[in-house]
Amino acid sequence: MPGKRIFASAQDVEAAFYEALEKADIELMMTIWSEDDEIVCVHPGGSRLVGYPPIREAWRRIFDTGRRLQVHLAPVTAVSTPFSTVHSLIVQVSISGTSDVSAPLAVTNVYVRGAMGWRMVVHHASAVPPEALSTETAPKILH
């Protein structure tokens, strides 16, 4: 089950999410998710995963490949209400130590504020055409 770490903002959750992705840290990754039964994760080209166990299993398999990923984020658009925030990002993922870069991804991240602070409830990522990047501000390195 998720740990007891409290996130004070959606931005804090998002930073921890991408830190976990880059470090292939499954415990940190699962800390950021809401305990809601209906959390949803869609990886690029993958199925829709609903609930904690399948989402954990999919991240474990990604991290077990041993490839270390580096994430480049283009600036975020956000729509917020008092208890929720939606971020829309353009993301590029590269494999550390190689010149391999993924197609740009459109990402929708949804965060909800509950008794345990802010947590992620939806991560939806899908490949978009390469020209998507040219219409966005140049990506920046996360860390």
The residues that touch a second copy, with contacts defined as CB under 8 A, are: 34, 36, 38-40, 42, 44-48, 50, 77-79, 81-84, 86, 88, 90, 106, 108, 110, 112-113, 121-122, 124, 126-129, 131-132, 135-136
Is residue 100 within 8 A of residue 90, CB to CB? The reply is no
- Quick one: 97 or 138, whose CB is closer to a second copy? 138
Q: Quote the CA–CA distance of 80 and 11 in Å, as a whole number.
A: 12
Return the closest-CA partner of residue 72 out of 89, 51, 48. Answer: 89
Q: Quote the CA–CA distance of 8 and 105 in Å, as a whole number.
A: 27
Which residues are CB-neighbours of 83 under 8 A, at least 6 positions away?
A: 112, 113, 114
- Quick one: 15 or 78, whose CB is closer to a second copy? 78
Q: What is the DSSP letter of 131?
A: G
- Quick one: 3 or 130, whose CB is closer to a second copy? 130
To a second copy, the closest distance from the beta carbon of 112 in angstroms equals: 6
Q: Quote the CA–CA distance of 130 and 102 in Å, as a whole number.
A: 9
To a second copy, the closest distance from the beta carbon of 70 in angstroms equals: 21
To a second copy, the closest distance from the beta carbon of 109 in angstroms equals: 10
To a second copy, the closest distance from the beta carbon of 14 in angstroms equals: 15
- Quick one: 35 or 96, whose CB is closer to a second copy? 35
